A and B are shown apart, each in its own frame.
Chain A
Amino acid sequence: MRFQLRASILAGGAAIALLSAQPPAVAESIFYPHLVYRSGAYAPNGIPFANGVADYVAMINARDGGVGGVKIELEECETGYATDRGVECYERLKTKGPGAIAFSPLSTGITFALTEKVPIDKIPLQTMGYGRSESADGRVFQWNFPLLGTYWSAADILIQHVAKVSGGLKGKKITLVYHDSPYGKEPIPVLQDHAQKHGYIFEAIPVTHPGVEQKAAWLKIRQTRPDFVFLWGWGVMNSTAIKEAVAVGYPRNQMYGVWWAAAEPDVRPAGEDAKGYQGLALHPAGADYPVHKDILKYVYDAGKGAGKREEVGEVLYNRGVIDAMLKLEAVRTAQKLTGKKVVNGADVRLGYENLELTAERIKELGFEGLVTPLKVSCRDHEGARKARIHQWDGQKWVFVSDWIEADTSYLRPKVEAAAAAYAKEKNITPATCP
């Protein structure tokens, strides 16, 4: 009897030991790497975007239990908008968990660096409203997804708008004040093409990082008196440009910022003087959309908001929310297409290439009025190329135009030619699309 008892205890102990040796049951999750800049010269613009992404992912986890029933693990990595640190973050996070679903560096410089790495690691690069303009050609840039609009689209839309409001551009002067980086240089070829086509005089003035020294540029503008100034800045460069425009008496309502130069952190530091300043809008500002109600209910009411409650709905916050939504929609599409719950980068690429946001789906997601319909394909990785113009009234952004669509008949051949040149240089065989 004693022997039996001892044997039972031993057997039980062994069973427990065996059981405890098993790896603990891990809840299924997908890994969402998030490259952010919450400190440094570009933090005022990086923070609201990062908060938008974090809050949307937190809301989806809290409300829906994740995407397709799988929890989303989000991890931030601080890049400080520096390319080297961005690449370091990418290398650190790309294989984490079941593998990164996709990266969004929020920096054209980091995008340029990662564009050569992502095909090897098989991870998509979502660059909503930024990145290489020719990456819209999905046959060559199979892992890049510059959704909703590239800088070439932005430049084309701006020209369409100013041509319309000024009754033609012949003999007019347009000056581009740009961040002297890959980002700032992107629109130049399109603005030069249009100068020939429309007959305006084009001048481009570079501003060195971070953009706090612009006096010489604006004194030149005071002398040449361009009819329009386009601003392709980021971070403190934008608010400094508006302040310098005030200092040389250049009218703010003749200034147009790209969509990265037309948010609250760009105009608020200039106070009342920013009134009249205009810019491109990929989407509206405001927190009255159903998605915001859910974010406030599931995230902020639970005391888990990434930022301040009153900042929910700012331009760059909303852009972060849309960026995260598009990424998760690509994941959802990938789950449907592959039948897998936990998807990796290669699966998500398939999701992106088949991503379609119809008006009905946008409504279901709570984004009605916040984002335009979009359809990505193997050839077209941009999906949509529309923007509106909004103007700062001293308190808030007000739309002053309807949606304007970039002219694909002009842009697409340009994109394809640039992509073909890139393919030749890098020895890439373009994909065959149906």
Chain B
Amino acid sequence: MAELGPVLEVLLGGLMSGVLYALVALGFVLIFKASGVFNFAQGAMVLFAALSLVRLAEWLPFPIAFLVTIIIMIAVAWAIERLVLRPLVGQHGLILFMATIGVTFFLDGFGQTIWGSNVYQLDLGIPASPWFLLESVFPGGLLVSPIDVFAAVIAGALVIALSIFFHSTKIGRALRAVADDHQAAQSVGIPLNRIWLIVWSTAGIVALVAGMAWGSKLGVQFSLSLVALKALPVLILGGLTSIPGAIVGGLVVGAGEKLAEFYIGPAIGGGIEYWFAYVLALAVLLVRPQGLFGEKIIERV
């Protein structure tokens, strides 16, 4: 049992980190599902949302700051739809992707210009000291971080809420229709622009939640935008169009990279978790090119 303790602890820590990756990956999936755009700016949206919240919370009560931040993220979504996406309708997907890279740099810089570049503390009242579980079974117990547990609960709630939204509401059904076929959806009267605005706003709110979870763990600062890079292997692994894929992909990447860092890292000089996640994702692509949960694309030629 004593040997199993550390393995379980690293596995648990990795799974918890994976939930945080999944939170960011969710934003990518939402937009890709509804518009076929790979939104590189999702990480920048996480930073922008978290920065807005933490700076507004300095002057306003937290719930009001939260609501104002949601309004800001909807405004950002509207601006992106109106100024970036709408003029590019009908263009190749790669052009839209490049446009979102532009949005990334703009949001990163603009966010820091108006809100500042310091580290801002986001205190959600979650205790930082660890919990030790099963102390009678494992010497020293199994360490679990309350912040990670909080993030996992939030991510779980978000996935349930999004699933209900997608499957049981009229807008959700419209979103799925747009995701399946833009032109067919438009021909039955589904307004594409409104749907895009809704989906980008939803991705903005998901970014805010991810920003809160990451920000409470790391402090709100520029590096939050880099967590988007951690979502990329998750997407490769889970598939670009599947919400459960984002969750499972996040968990596999989180657990895999932490176990690799812990057990393989010391033998090859350490610091491997950053690229190991991609190795893991690419290994999956060898067997399932569409990712674990992605849709197999069949095109007749």
Chain A interface residues toward B at CB < 8 A: 38-41, 43-44, 47, 180, 204-208, 210-213, 215-217, 219-220, 222-223, 235-236, 239-240, 243, 246-249, 265, 268-271, 273
Q: For the complex, would chain B's binding face be called helix, strand, loop or mixed by DSSP majority?
A: helix
* Given A38-B117, A243-B218, A180 contacting B271 (CB threshold 8 A): yes
Q: A206-B270, A219-B143, A246-B128 are in contact. List 18 more A-B contacts (CB 8 A).
A: A41-B222, A204-B270, A208-B271, A213-B274, A215-B13, A216-B10, A216-B14, A216-B257, A216-B258, A236-B221, A243-B128, A243-B218, A247-B129, A265-B118, A268-B121, A270-B128, A271-B128, A273-B128
A239 to B219, CA, bound (A): 8
- Note all chain A residues with C-beta closer than 8 A to B271: 180, 206-208
- Which residue on B lies nearest to A80, using beta carbons? B222
Q: Tell me if B69 counts as interface (CB < 8 A to partner A).
A: no
A207 to B117, CA, bound (A): 22
26 interchain pairs (CB within 8 A)? Answer: A39-B222, A40-B222, A41-B222, A41-B226, A43-B112, A44-B117, A44-B221, A208-B273, A211-B223, A215-B13, A215-B258, A216-B14, A216-B261, A219-B143, A219-B258, A220-B262, A236-B119, A243-B217, A243-B218, A247-B129, A247-B147, A249-B143, A265-B119, A268-B119, A271-B121, A273-B129
Q: For the complex, would chain A's binding face be called helix, strand, loop or mixed by DSSP majority?
A: helix
Chain B interface residues toward A at CB < 8 A: 6, 9-10, 13-14, 17, 108-109, 112, 117-121, 123, 128-130, 143, 145, 147, 217-219, 221-223, 226-227, 230, 257-258, 261-262, 265, 269-271, 273-274
Number of A-B residue pairs having CB atoms within 8 Å of each other in the complex: 116
- Note all chain A residues with C-beta closer than 8 A to B262: 216, 219-220
* Given A180-B271, A243-B218, A215 contacting B17 (CB threshold 8 A): yes
CB distance from A17 to the nearest CB of B (A): 47
Which of B9, B217, B222, B265 has the most C-beta atoms of chain A within 10 angstroms of its own C-beta? B222
- Note all chain A residues with C-beta closer than 8 A to B13: 215-216, 219
Q: Are the CB atoms of A236 and B270 closer together than 8 Å?
A: no
- Note all chain A residues with C-beta closer than 8 A to B143: 219, 222, 247-249
* Given A210-B226, A271-B123, A43 contacting B6 (CB threshold 8 A): no
Q: Are the CB atoms of B17 and A269 closer together than 8 Å?
A: no
- Note all chain B residues with C-beta closer than 8 A to A248: 130, 143
- Which residue on A lies nearest to B224, using beta carbons? A212
Q: Are the CB atoms of B223 and A236 closer together than 8 Å?
A: yes
A204 to B269, CA, bound (A): 9
Q: Are the CB atoms of A41 and B223 closer together than 8 Å?
A: yes
CB distance from A106 to the nearest CB of B (A): 15
- Which residue on A lies nearest to B265, using beta carbons? A216
Which of B13, B119, B258 has the most C-beta atoms of chain A within 10 angstroms of its own C-beta? B119
- Which residue on A lies nearest to B113, using beta carbons? A39
Q: Are the CB atoms of B6 and A212 closer together than 8 Å?
A: no
Q: Are the CB atoms of A212 and B223 closer together than 8 Å?
A: yes
Q: Are the CB atoms of A43 and B147 closer together than 8 Å?
A: no
Q: Are the CB atoms of B129 and A249 closer together than 8 Å?
A: yes
CB distance from B107 to the nearest CB of A (A): 13
CB distance from B43 to the nearest CB of A (A): 12
CB distance from B259 to the nearest CB of A (A): 8
Which of B118, B217, B274 has the most C-beta atoms of chain A within 10 angstroms of its own C-beta? B118
A172 to B147, CA, bound (A): 32
- Note all chain B residues with C-beta closer than 8 A to A243: 128, 217-219
- Note all chain B residues with C-beta closer than 8 A to A40: 117, 222
A211 to B271, CA, bound (A): 10
Q: Are the CB atoms of A208 and B130 closer together than 8 Å?
A: no
A43 to B47, CA, bound (A): 14
Which of B109, B123, B145 has the most C-beta atoms of chain A within 10 angstroms of its own C-beta? B145
A239 to B271, CA, bound (A): 18
A98 to B130, CA, bound (A): 58
CB distance from A176 to the nearest CB of B (A): 11
- Note all chain A residues with C-beta closer than 8 A to B226: 41, 210, 212
CB distance from A147 to the nearest CB of B (A): 27
- Note all chain B residues with C-beta closer than 8 A to A206: 269-271
- Note all chain A residues with C-beta closer than 8 A to B120: 269
Which residue of A41, A223, A240, A271 is within 8 Å of B6 (Cβ)? A223
Q: Are the CB atoms of B117 and A269 closer together than 8 Å?
A: no
Q: Are the CB atoms of A240 and B130 closer together than 8 Å?
A: no
- Note all chain A residues with C-beta closer than 8 A to B274: 208, 213
A220 to B9, CA, bound (A): 10
- Note all chain B residues with C-beta closer than 8 A to A211: 223
Q: Are the CB atoms of B273 and A213 closer together than 8 Å?
A: yes
A247 to B128, CA, bound (A): 6
CB distance from B229 to the nearest CB of A (A): 10
Q: Are the CB atoms of A219 and B6 closer together than 8 Å?
A: yes
A152 to B270, CA, bound (A): 22
A373 to B87, CA, bound (A): 64
Which of B109, B227, B262, B269 has the most C-beta atoms of chain A within 10 angstroms of its own C-beta? B262
Q: Are the CB atoms of B129 and A213 closer together than 8 Å?
A: no
* Given A180-B271, A220-B262, A247-B147, A236 contacting B219 (CB threshold 8 A): yes
- Which residue on A lies nearest to B259, using beta carbons? A216
Shortest Cβ-Cβ A-B pairs, 5 listed = A269-B219, A43-B117, A216-B261, A206-B271, A208-B274
* Given A213-B273, A265-B119, A268-B121, A43 contacting B222 (CB threshold 8 A): yes
